[in-house]
């Protein structure tokens, strides 16, 4: 009998260290973490800036500079600073360690001289520094297959050279550098040689990120610095005219209105936003802001900072309290970011409210330019709606009027209105604008033309907020309570008899009869939803309506039926009176139907083919009757 095998002893549990594939990490940084190939320019300028600011903290008489040098022959791009430099120990401990940045440690409150002992220092020591994550140097491998760092520390004795290729060991050696500071040289990959050749490309990259850095940057030993350094909106006492001029140059457009921003608490915000002359295409658009953190531009397209109701705003802001994301292309959405948003919104509200009160003509110019954006957004924003309540001018039959002015002319007749103090009439169809203006010209009450749906909603919401009074918003239509009586001056309005409803049924109208000494024989009023449904029917018949869209439209009209256009027959008029006396089989009925079609056409209705065919039938019947007489 064979012996059974001995059981295998398990080597678990055990502890193992993390293993990092440096080449793989560098590849990830190059392809996923950063979105732009010029990112290393930003990161290396940032490192140079921080080195200079650290030296300034030790030597108040010192003025630093950054030089960027292209060498097309050797395909290199170099960044030189005369900042604090690195000791051999610092180069060994921090340059080659992903995720531990010397600047980041200082900002957390540790002194570089005592990092091993983790000695806390004043966090103010790092208040002007930009770096944080300890990955900036490695971004250079996006462009380079080899990086060389030469550095001599302030008050140091030994210069150090740090050299690495992607995925290889780091080589440390003595450097021949004799001046304090650091040089980082990128030996560019063949497909990125353009960064060593194209001076305009590199200059644009520097300006894109470092235009506001307080340290001059020089390219290829030029005597003129590349970066702007100073911006009017960052001055302690900014001049508004200069701000406007610089914003115009920076963004390539002339601001309609500029809002300087200077907030100290609860978060620091400095800069300027402005009202763009570009009309936004719709409410889904969103304001974008150029943002710098400690003068280094993070992005020119930071979203969500400006309130959603103001997509027409652009600008540039310095946000020293905000935290950049790890790729430094956006800001972290944290409580500090939320506080910045709240503070900005309050500043923008106050500016517009003050402008409306002290410079009403300027405010009206802005309001008219972005009229429908303001109106659409005010539907959802109470404070903006309150501002527009006294300043937004609705188009009416009596000219442009504010809500207060509309109400002052819309007093309800107490003899016929028991549920409302004010009755406001509105029209939502552009085709009826001129037609309704004729009727309302003889009345004190205006008709408000809410030709965009959000204007109707805005008007209704504003009326609903009228304290101490009851307001009703009614369509300017014969089916509305007291419209025929108070606006048209008609009496005894009722539904037409069934024979006349049937006679005119092919016109798809609701028919009323009433009496007026001044009105024409027939009045027609458009139902916008009915006309819209007819348009969709035509598109469907032509086979041009996608099935998915067709289902959505069908569900829309199932929830709220389209209704019909409306016609009033003025029985006081002789033509209508005779037609009703002789009935639907008489030639006078044909005359009346011609007048109905003409009234519908005048009002802007889209007549069906059957309705159009009635014209030839009716004219033939009228001609025959005249021949017999």
User: What is the CATH classification number for the domain harbouring 196?
Assistant: 3.30.565.10
HEC letters along 262-313? EECCCCCEEEEEEECCCCCCCCCCCCEEEEEECCEEEEEEECCCCCCCCCCE
Residue 552 to residue 542: CA distance in whole angstroms: 18
In tens, the pLDDT along 166-184 reads: 666 789 999 999 999 999 9
pLDDT for the residue numbered 228? 84
- Domain CATH number, residue 612: 1.20.120
pLDDT band per the 50, 70, 90 thresholds, residue 498: very high
Q: Quick one: which of 341, 440, 350, 344 has its CA closest to 387?
A: 350
Residue 287 lies in a domain: yes
Note whether 140 and 239 are same-domain residues.
no
**Is the same domain home to 511 and 603?**
yes
Q: How confident is the model at residue 313 (pLDDT cuts 50, 70, 90)?
A: very high
Of the candidates 560, 467, 475, 571, the residue with the CA atom closest to the CA atom of residue 515: 571
Cα–Cα dist 328/438, whole Å: 62
Indicate the number of domains in the chain: 3
Q: Supply the pLDDT for residue 540.
A: 61
**Which has more confidence, 352 or 58?**
352
Q: Are 585 and 558 in contact (CB under 8 A)?
A: no
- Whether residue 5 is contained in a domain is answered as no
Q: What is the CATH number of the domain that holds 259?
A: 3.30.230.80
- The answer to the question of residue 478 being in a domain is no
Residues 385 and 353: beta-carbon distance below 8 Å? no
Residue-level pLDDT at 91: 87
Confidence of residue 533 (pLDDT cuts 50, 70, 90): low
Q: Of 59, 79, 82, 56, give the one whose Cα is nearest residue 67.
A: 79
Domain membership of residue 418 (yes or no) is no
Of the listed ranges 53-62, 325-334, 377-386, 490-499, the least confidently predicted one is 325-334
Whether the model pTM is above 0.85: no
* Domain extent at residue 575: 488-527+564-629
pLDDT of residue 169: 77
Domain boundary among 327, 351, 375: 351
Contact assessment for residue 104 and residue 126, using Cβ atoms and an 8 Å cutoff: no
Mean pLDDT of the chain: 83
Do 186 and 243 belong together in one domain? no
Please check whether residues 103 and 205 belong to one and the same domain: yes
pLDDT of residue 337: 95
34-48, 121-135, 338-352, 557-571: which range is least confident on average?
121-135
Reported confidence tier of residue 549, pLDDT bands at 50, 70, 90: low
322 located within any domain: yes
The answer to the question of residue 195 being in a domain is yes
The lowest-confidence range among 95-99, 155-159, 178-182, 446-450 is 95-99
Question: Do 57 and 125 fall into the same domain?
Answer: yes
Give pLDDT, residue 116: 40
Q: Are 240 and 98 contained in the same domain?
A: no
Question: Looking at residue 19, what is its pLDDT?
Answer: 65
Name the more confident of 443 and 545.
443
Among the listed ranges 256-260, 565-569, 590-594, 616-620, which one has the minimum average pLDDT value? 616-620
> Confidence band (pLDDT; 50, 70, 90) for 255?
very high
193 in the same domain as 266: no
User: In this structure, are 250 and 195 located in the same domain?
Assistant: no
How does pLDDT run across 572-582, given as a tens digit for each residue? 999 999 999 99
pLDDT at residue 124 tops 80: no
Lowest mean pLDDT segment, chosen from 248-252, 325-329, 412-416, 618-622: 325-329
258 and 139 fall within a common domain: no
The per-residue pLDDT for 280 is 63
Question: Which pLDDT band, with edges at 50, 70 and 90, does 235 fall under?
Answer: confident
Same domain, 97 and 207: yes
Residue 176 lies in a domain: yes
Co-location of 277 and 324 in the same domain: yes
DSSP-assigned letter for residue 92? I
| 32 shares its domain with 130 | yes
Are 400 and 366 within 8 A, CB to CB?
no
Report yes or no: 448 and 432 within 8 Å, Cβ to Cβ.
no
Domain closes at, from 192, 219, 246: 219
The verdict on residue 298 lying in a domain is: yes
Question: What tens digit of pLDDT does each residue of 433-464 get?
Answer: 888 898 898 899 999 999 887 899 999 999 98
Beta bridge partners of 291: 299, 317
Given 296, 330, 351, which residue is the final one in a domain? 351
């Amino acid at each position: 009998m064979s012996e059974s095998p001995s059981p295998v002893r398990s080597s678990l549990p055990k502890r193992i260290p993390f293993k990092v594939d440096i080449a793989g990490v560098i590849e990830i940084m190059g392809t996923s973490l950063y979105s732009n190939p010029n990112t290393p320019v930003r990161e290396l300028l940032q490192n140079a800036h921080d080195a200079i600011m650290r030296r300034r903290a030790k030597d108040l008489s010192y003025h630093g500079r950054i030089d960027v040098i292209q060498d097309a022959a050797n395909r290199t791009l170099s960044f030189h600073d005369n900042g604090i430099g690195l000791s051999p120990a610092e180069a060994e401990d921090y340059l080659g360690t992903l995720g531990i940045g010397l600047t980041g440690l200082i900002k957390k409150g540790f002194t570089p001289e005592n990092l091993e002992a983790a000695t806390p220092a004043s966090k103010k020591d790092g208040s002007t520094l930009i770096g944080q994550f300890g990955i900036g140097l490695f971004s250079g491998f996006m462009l380079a297959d080899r990086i060389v760092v030469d550095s001599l520390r302030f008050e140091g004795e030994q210069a150090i050279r740090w050299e690495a290729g992607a995925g290889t060991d780091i080589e440390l050696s003595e450097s021949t550098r004799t001046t304090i500071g650091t040089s980082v040289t990128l030996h560019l990959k063949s497909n990125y040689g353009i960064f060593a050749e194209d001076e305009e490309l590199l200059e644009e990259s520097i300006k894109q990120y470092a235009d506001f850095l307080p340290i001059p940057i020089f390219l290829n030993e030029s005597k003129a610095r590349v970066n702007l350094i100073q911006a009017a909106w960052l001055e302690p006492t900014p001049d508004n005219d200069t701000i406007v001029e610089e914003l115009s140059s920076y963004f390539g457009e002339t601001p309609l209105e500029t809002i300087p921003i200077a907030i100290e608490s609860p978060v620091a915000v400095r800069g300027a936003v402005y009202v763009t002359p570009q009309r936004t295409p719709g409410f889904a658009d969103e304001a974008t802001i150029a943002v710098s953190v400690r003068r280094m531009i993070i992005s020119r397209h930071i979203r969500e900072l400006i309130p959603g109701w103001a997509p027409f705003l652009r600008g540039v802001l310095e946000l020293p309290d905000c935290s950049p994301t790890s790729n430094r292309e956006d800001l972290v959405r944290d409580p500090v970011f939320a506080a910045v948003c709240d503070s900005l919104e309050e500043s923008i509200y106050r500016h517009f409210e003050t402008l409306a009160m002290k410079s009403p003509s300027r405010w009206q110019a802005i309001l008219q330019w972005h009229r429908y954006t303001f109106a659409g957004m005010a539907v959802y924003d109470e404070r903006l709606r309150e501002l527009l309540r006294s300043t937004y001018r609705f188009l009416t039959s009596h000219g442009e009027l504010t809500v207060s002015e509309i109400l002052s002319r819309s007093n309800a007749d107490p003899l016929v209105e028991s549920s409302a103090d004010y009755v406001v009439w509105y029209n939502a169809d552009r085709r009826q604008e001129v037609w309704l203006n004729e009727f309302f010209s003889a009345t004190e009450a205006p008709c408000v033309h809410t030709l965009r749906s959000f204007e109707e909603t805005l008007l209704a919401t504003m009326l609903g907020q009228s304290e101490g009074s009851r307001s009703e918003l009614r369509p300017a239509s014969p089916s509305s309570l007291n419209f025929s009586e108070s606006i048209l001056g008609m009496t005894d309005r009722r539904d037409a008899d069934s024979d006349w409803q049937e006679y005119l049924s092919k016109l798809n109208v609701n028919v009323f009869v009433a009496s007026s000494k001044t009105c024409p024989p027939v009045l027609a009023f458009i139902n916008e939803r009915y006309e819209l449904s007819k348009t969709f029917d035509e598109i469907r018949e032509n086979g041009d309506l996608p099935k998915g869209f067709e289902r959505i439209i069908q569900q829309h009209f199932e929830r709220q039926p389209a209704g019909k256009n409306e016609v009033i027959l003025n029985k006081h008029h002789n033509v209508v009176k005779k037609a009703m006396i002789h009935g639907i089989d008489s030639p006078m009925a044909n005359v009346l139907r011609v007048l109905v079609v003409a009234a519908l056409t005048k009002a802007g209705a889209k007549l069906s083919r059957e309705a159009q065919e009635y014209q030839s039938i009716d004219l033939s019947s009228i001609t025959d009757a005249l021949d017999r007489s």
